[in-house]
Amino acid sequence: MALVHAGPAHSQFYDAPAMPESDQPENVAPAAREPPEPEDFRGGRAPRPNDAFIAVMGVTGSGKSSFISLCSGKAVRIGHTLEACTAIVDVYAYDMSPDQTVYLIDTPGFDDTNKSDTEVLSEIAVWLGSSYKSKILLSGIIYLHRITDVRMQGSAKKNLLMFKQLCGQDALKQVILVTTMWDKVSQEEGKRREDELIHTSEFWGWMVSKGSSVRRHGHNESSAKELVHQLIGHSNCITTDLQKQLIDENLTLDQTSAGRELKSELLKEQEKWAKRLHEVEEQMREAIKQRDQEAEEALKEVRDEYTVKIQRVEQDTVALRFNMESLISQRDIRLGKLQQKMYDEQNAHTAQIKEMKEKVDILANRLSTEYMHSELEHHHKKLKPWPCRKGKLAFSISMAGVYYTCISPVITRCNEGPGQTPASGSKQLRSVFLGKKCGESPTWLARYSDGVEMSENLKVEYPRLQEALATHGVDHLKTCTLGPNQTYYARWKSSWSSNVPDNLKNTLKIYDPKKRDGARIVTVGLGYDGAYVIAYRNSRGVKPSHGFTYGLKGHYQALREILSKKKNLKIVAITLNPENATDFILIWEEKATKGKSYRMQCYSQYETVIKEVETWWNWR
């Protein structure tokens, strides 16, 4: 029998075979089950001769969780997390001495807003019945009650009635009735309410007459442990009426004393809603007679609400018709549904957080546009134009995270990848393409005058590019761009390859190098969240001779400013940082008095990168 464990000692049946729901469930025999192991009731701990078990009961908010926490020294789960919703009965270990552990059983109250009273009784019945079958008996029960309650009514009274029927008379000698929250009332008022509880038969009076004791809890560790020690001092263990009736007498839950009490309450509730439904239906008939459509619609809503309430009461009544084995099977079905609901809610919550984060990122980018624009203007003034009297100059730029490589006709500057400065010799570095970080360094691909070199991790981070290189060869590789999430673009003399979303791939097809009279791609930038920039030159005779297209996905706001203002920009090199939504380097060609010149713009979150790129560009 597998169990879900949570906390220091948490016991929860979980993997029982599901039993189909039925209107006549009491006679349905579930599949054979493995009996639980002794460790299953101890949170996985091995059993010891002096182990003791104490149930802690009371209404929600009476202080059960804090009481157990004071004894065990462990935080008791409160609320409706996934584990809390799928583990209604929890067990926490209190190591009272080196050779004795007391297991405190945290039970739900019959006022849970997320579970019906039938579900709560079923959960308690499953734990008590299963432990009894495994020869585990209670040393006693601690029942908590808020002294702040002005009078015994509502959920507190219902809890007490159910508790009496669940325990039975024989177990009452080892029940401690405990009042809590004495720091929130005056001693005089608290004493008056305590006396009323003790001397009123329908409250605590009858239980006290049968041997139950009354104590006050001071909301501190010593007070909590003293109550536990008092019960452990008894040599005898107890068997509740609910355990006897379910296991020894093999009754269904609705035939037990606690079940009969709950069934009686459900019948009263059903009669109440049925009476109200009848009144609403009478009012509806009168509204129809008077042709009052607005009143009729309003009454329909109320009628439907009452109908649903009656159906729920009927379902709860049917759910009481289970014997012990069927209770366990039905409980597992219910927990499976709860677990699925919680997972669905968590997934929806995760999606909402992601959506909010994306909106915040976009907003932050927009808010920082003015700042980035001023920064760009400042850096732009420091950058000299690079004159070119004739022909053209070749530049290679790439960045990934804090890493960059910049290659000009006279100098190479980088902080990662091959950093050989082009010199007279057979092997000159033409370009370097940086990609996703792997370990401490990014992946890279370097193009030399006599071939290509690559980092060892390229085939791991960009397996499809590795395949393309093997297919098309490396000798005639013209350009390459490495993006996030294994995206890339590579172009050879007469072929190309990419691993990008379909919409971008369709755009790239327009510039297929196999087309004789088509446009040709000059450079591609692949960035964060699918952002891209494509620069191209048109075939001879087509005006304009160049152009670019881009999709920045709301990112790279500073770059968007440039591209939106300079419609005829002749881009010769671009790189988008794939690891953030802001950084880029852009180089473009401009007409000059004599010939032409090149301009460069760099934006980075890292000041050192900006300074290094500026130094590279201004080097003549």
- pLDDT tens by residue, 457-473: 898 899 999 999 999 88
* Domain contains 44: no
**Is the residue at 233 inside a domain?**
yes
Of 200, 215, 250, which one is at a domain's C-terminal end?
Answer: 250
User: Is pLDDT at 41 greater than 60 in this prediction?
Assistant: yes
Q: Are residues 409 and 519 in the same domain?
A: yes
Q: Say if 553 falls within a structural domain.
A: yes
Examine residue 26 and state whether it is found in any structural domain, yes or no.
no
Residue 256 lies inside a defined structural domain of this protein: no
Same domain as 172, residue 61? yes
| Range of weakest confidence among 21-35, 47-61, 73-87, 309-323 | 21-35
- The reported pLDDT for the residue numbered 403 is 92
Q: Output the pLDDT for position 372.
A: 54
Please report which confidence band the pLDDT of residue 482 belongs to, taking 50, 70 and 90 as the band edges: very high
Confidence bin at 419 (pLDDT 50/70/90): low
- Please indicate whether residue 379 or residue 144 has the higher confidence score (pLDDT): 144
Which is higher by pLDDT, 101 or 28?
A: 101
d(CA 270, CA 306): 10
Tens-digit pLDDT profile for residues 55-97: 998 888 888 888 998 988 887 765 444 343 434 688 888 888 8
pLDDT value of residue 374:
58
**Are residues 523 and 391 part of one domain?**
yes
Please check the confidence at residue 117 and state whether its pLDDT lies above 50: yes
Total of domains in the chain: 4
| Predicted local distance difference test score (pLDDT) of residue 573 | 95
* Residue 36 located in a structural domain: no
Q: Tell me the mean pLDDT in the region 353-370.
A: 71
Residue 542 reports pLDDT greater than 80: no
Q: Which residue has the higher pLDDT, 537 or 21?
A: 537
Here the tokens at position 616 are: 């590279």
Indicate whether 504 belongs to any domain: yes
Query: What percent of the chain has a predicted confidence (pLDDT) above 70?
Result: 83
Cβ-contact 227, 176 below 8 angstroms: yes
Three-state SS string across 35-54, please? CCCHHHHCCCCCCCCCCEEE
Cα(476)–Cα(176) distance, integer angstroms: 88
**610 pLDDT higher than 60:** yes
205 & 335 share domain = no
Concatenating the DSSP letter of every residue in 305-333 gives HHHHHHHHHHHHHHHT---HHHHHHHHHH
User: Under the phi-then-psi rule, with left for phi > 0, alpha for psi from -120 to 50, and beta for the rest, what region is 486?
Assistant: left
Q: Are residues 355 and 423 in the same domain?
A: no
Confidence of residue 12 (pLDDT cuts 50, 70, 90): very low
| pLDDT score of 22 | 41
Domain boundary residue, one of 367, 396, 429: 367
The CATH number of the domain where 239 resides is what? 3.40.50.300
Determine, yes or no, domain membership for 228.
yes
Least confident of 130-139, 424-433, 597-606: 424-433
Q: Looking at residues 23-39, what average pLDDT do you find?
A: 46
pLDDT at position 416 is: 74
pLDDT of residue 5: 33
Q: Are residues 176 and 291 in the same domain?
A: no
- Please indicate, yes or no, whether residues 475 and 573 belong to a single structural domain of this protein: yes
Measured CA to CA, the distance from residue 380 to residue 369 in angstroms comes to: 16
* Residue 91 lies in domain: 50-250
* pTM assigned to the model: 0.50
